[in-house]
Structure 1
C-alpha cells in the first residue's frame, strides 16, 4: 500500500511539473513574440481625428465615423484586450469549449497576438496563439503547452488570413479604419462598403455592412484562408456597442465560415476588458 501511494504521489508530482513547465514555456514564447511586435511600432504621422478626412468617403462609412468617433479623438496606437467566450474545435460536432483569451494589438504597423486557453474535457487545455507581426501571419496550438497540434506560419495564405482578422477587428480600435491610417474605402451600396488594407506584400479586402444607426453589423470576406490549401467565405457579426475612451465599439462578436453545406459558426466571444494606448500628441 505504501509503495502504491508513493507511486501515485510520484506520478501526480511529475504530471504537475509537466503542466507547469508547459504553461511556463508557452508564456515565455508568447512574451518573446509580443516583445518583437511591440519593438516594431512606429510613430504616427496623423495623431488626432479630423472629420474632414471622411468627407469624400462613401455615405455609410461617413455615418459610421460620425457615430463612433468625436472630433479630436486621439489615434489608437495600441490595445490590450481580454475576452471570454466559446469555441467549436470541430465543425463536424455541435460541441463548444469554453475559452479565455488576451490580445495585444499595434496599429502602426498593423500587428496583433491573440493568446487563448481553450478548455477541453477532463480539464485539458489547449494553448492557442493567432498572430500577425511584421507582415507574417501564424497560428499555433499546443495541448497543455507541450504537444503541438497545429503550426501554420510564413506563407502568403496565412499572412492574408491574419491581416483580414486585424482589419475586421479594427472596429475595436476604429481610428485604424481611417484613410489616414492606410484604409481605402469603396462604395457598394447605401448600407455597405469595401475596405482595402495593404501591409508590405499583403493586400486584403473586406465588406463592411452597416446598421441603420451607422454602426457595423457585420464584416464579410468573399474568401478567407482556412488552411494552407483551403479558403471559404467568412462572416463576423458584431453587437453590444458601448463607449470606451470616447469611441463606440462592439463588445460581442460571432464568427462563422459559410460553407456549401451551410453556415458553420466556430467562435462566440465577449470583451471583458479593453485598454487603449494613444500616440503622443
Structure 2
C-alpha cells in the first residue's frame, strides 16, 4: 500500500493545478472583458455631437403609430419617463448546449447595454460540472458581433466575430431585448413602426450598413409578448444556417418607473418545431438615464 501516499500527493497536485488554472483563466477573462467594456462605452454617442434626442418621453410622439404600438408605450411608460442611456442587467437561468436534444446547464450573467450607438456585452458563466465552468461573451460593439466561449476562461470552444451575419445576429438580439429598455423603441430613438394587425407590428432599426426588421407581438395587457425574425444565423457545427428566431417575454413588473419583463426565453424555430435554448430571469436591473 506504499503507493497510496503517492496517489494522494498526485491528486493534491492536480487539485492545486486546477485551482491555479481557474484563477489564471478568471483573471485573463476579466481583463479582456474590461477592455471590451471600455470599447463599448467609448462608442456611446455624445449628445453634443450626435443626433439630437429628447431627454424624456413625450406621448405626443405616439401620434400616427399603429394602435398596438401606442397601447404598448402607454402600458410600459409614464408621461415624462426619462430616456434610457444605458442599463446593466444581471440574469440567472438555463442554457441548452444541444442543438437537437436537451442538455440544459445553469448560468449566471452580467450584461452591459448602451442604447446610442446600440451595443451590448453579455458576460456569463455556464456551469458544466462541479468546479468546471465555461465562460461566454456575446456582444455587439461598434457595429461588430462577437461570440467567444472558453472552458475555465482559457480553452476556446467557440470564437466567432466580425461583421456580416455575425453582426446582424447580435444586433437582432439587442433589438429584441429592448423590452428591457423600452424607451429605445420610441420613434425619437430611431425605430420605425409599420402596422400589421391589432396585436402585432413590424419595427425597423438601422445601424451603419445594417438594417433590421422584427415582428413584435403584444399580449392582452398591451405589453410585448414576443419579437420574431424570419432569418437569423445559427451555428450548426461549423456552418451558419439561417433559421427563424424568436424571443419571448413574461413576468412584467415595474422597474425604474417602467413596466418591463423579468423573464425571457429565446428559441430557434426549426422545421421540426420550436427549440428553446435560453431561459433567463432578471435578478437585477440598473438604469442610467439621459441627462
TM-score normalised by the chain length of structure 2: 0.93
> Which position in structure 1 is the counterpart of 2:177?
169
- The match for 2:226 among 218, 226, 232 is 218
Residues 116-150 of structure 1, C-alpha deviations (whole Å, 9 max, x = no match)? 11111343211011100111111111111111111
Deviations 1:254-280 (A, max 9, x none): 111000111111011100000000111
The 8 Å contact of residues 145 and 168 in structure 2, kept in 1 or not, is answered as yes
Write the distance in 1 (CA, Å) between the matches of 2:8 and 2:272: 53
Gaps of 5+ in 2: none
Q: CA deviation at 1:3?
A: 4.2
Q: Given the alignment, which residue of 231, 242, 263 partners 1:252?
A: 263
Alignment of 1:96-175 (within 5 A): 96-175=104-183
Rounded to whole Å, the distance in 2 between the matches of 1:68 and 1:93 is 36
Q: Hey, what's the Cα distance between the residues in 2 that align with 1:37 and 1:260?
A: 36
Find the counterpart in structure 1 of residue 14 from structure 2.
Answer: 11
Counterpart Cα distance in 1 of 2:271 and 2:5: 60
Distance 2:153 2:269 in 1: 31
Number of paired residues? 280
Distance 2:27 2:17 in 1: 15
Q: Is the partner of 1:120 in helix, strand or coil?
A: strand
Could you tell which deviates more after superposition, 41-50 or 75-84? 41-50
- Are the aligned partners of 2:66 and 2:193 in contact in 1 as well (CA < 8 Å)? yes
How far residue 68 of structure 1 moved from its aligned partner, in angstroms, is 0.6
Q: Helix, strand or coil: the match of 2:240?
A: coil
CA distance, structure 2, for counterparts of residue 121 and residue 4 of structure 1: 23
Q: Structure 1 residue 85 and structure 2 residue 93: aligned?
A: yes
Matched, 1:39 2:42: yes
Question: What is the RMSD computed on CA atoms of the aligned residues?
Answer: 1.2
Name the SS of the counterpart of 1:119 in structure 2.
strand
Conserved? CA contact 2:56–2:81, under 8 Å: yes
1:43–1:279 Cα contact (<8 Å) kept:
no
**Unaligned 5+ residue runs, structure 1?**
none
C-alpha displacement at 1:2, in angstroms?
4.5
TM superposition score normalised by structure 1: 0.96
